[in-house]
Structure 1
Amino acid sequence: MRSNAGRTGRGLALGVMMLACGSVHAADVVGVAFVHGTGKQTDARTEYWQPGIIDTVRAGLPNSSNYTVINCDFEQYMWKPETAGCLAGQLTGFIDSRGITKLVVITHSNGGNVLRWILSNPTYDSRYPRLIQTISKVTALAPSSAGTPLADAALNGNAFESSVGWLLGYKSDAVRQQQVSHMATYNAQNLYGTVGRPALPRPFRVVVGSDVESAVWDNNSYCGGYAQNVGLEFTQNWLDSCSDGFLECSSQKAAGTLWFTDKARTKGAEPLSHNQSRRDCFGLGTLLRNDLTL
């Protein structure tokens, strides 16, 4: 006959093993953060992204309430308290309030530079190391990683200014930052992820917009705003043949790794203008949603 002590010992051992397995295989709490581009945002959900793409993407979360939309002053240089400091504060608050253990960050345009600042400079702010540990990946939609000639044009006040002002704002520090020569310096000295520099500590996967369509008879030209696409097609004339009307493809691909170029995965192989790459155009929201938990 087995003793009670023996049975008790084996029961305790089994309990310890179960607890150990539970701690190893405990499910992550997944969240997603939407980080806007240049501009001082107070309602980025409505005015920058629009609810369509946010609601499509968050539906892919185990808990669709585990999302946040960042509202910061991205008219400043990326390292400023109003910019990276604000972003770090809002992300940390979101992680704490929802118990997030695995954070996917979706950025657009200059938001990618602000994220790269945090990922590249862990000792700059005491909040950065924890954020870097919690972020599982960054999906960068049309990031301005190598800047744009249109930033120079907007600052110089030439014929571009009236066309790109709605994209960039006028003569802000964020516009100065996105000049091609300035971004080359930051990439060489302050930021990771470009050729010849250390790799970023978390995956930084890029979606590239490669063209603009604004034909009045083409329904696809109206997604994201017809007037904006007309303006982007105008500015595209001064960029490389591969561009989204604001950024050349080479700038978008300058940091991190390519996830896909628009036509390779969008519905109907449609291109994404710089405005459309932050909207639920041509199945983009579904692509982002399906990628959340991979």
Structure 2
Amino acid sequence: MPLADPPWPPPVNRVRRYRNIIVKAACNLRCTYCELKKAKVDTAATNASIGLILDRFMPGETLVRVEADGEIGSYPPILDYLAERVRADGYRIEVLTNGTRFPQCIRPELLWVISVDGHTAEMNRERGLTQAQVDVILDQAVALNADLQCVYHGQPLEAMNGFIDELARRGYAGRLHILPLLALAGKPLTKHLDYDRLHKAPFLEQEGYFRHWDYIYQHGRRGERQCDQITNGFNYYVDNDRIEMMKCDSYAPLPRHLTLHGLQSEPEYDRFPCGTCLSNQEYNNCRPQMAM
């Protein structure tokens, strides 16, 4: 039987632009692996700055992630503004939170990404969460189909598998993204997770992500693969009425000229000076939220 001709024109996998807005703000947690963030937020000025950034992009062609150096859920007027821009203009906006303000901070118009390091207080010891807080976070994560970002800082393999099993038991339909404790200033990764011994689930990141993690851990460099932040992303940093731009902060020593002050055109780079990081943007284009 002759083979059928392939479809023509061939199907195209179109994805949205990804733009990350980071608000300089204070945090209500004291994670041991994170810098202590202190800032005074003028929510009116911050919303005006966010609005200037949003207005640069077509709502139907862009996924915008809004997060804070601290905890975005501590600033309800910012969440209200984002929800209003979704209702009024059709923007697709996801918010990164540590979940400690749930359920009060939830705005149903927004997509949610939650940082949590497991299903037990012990797994979240570096974040200082109680079991009661973890339980609320996971209840909301399942209800919202939120993505989860889990920092792997040395939790036992049995605990990580217990986390995966608990999410599967609950019928979790989001995406669990496990990222290693980041190596600052371009230093080698210090944490490794054995993918072959990890329980498999449909909500886990694809195998290639973990294999690249292996490569970076073993060789102390990223190799040739560019992450999706470099191919399809850009960062905007908001400090009240001040805006800075950068392709990616990269967790590596970067020349000052890569930081752009004020809104201007987004430069593209033939070769961005990446460090050894492996983060949530690595396979970002594969997320369902990015599909057009």
More helix by share: 1
Q: Highest CA radius of gyration, 1 or 2? A: 1
- Give TM-score scaled by structure 1 length: 0.34
- Give TM-score scaled by structure 2 length: 0.34
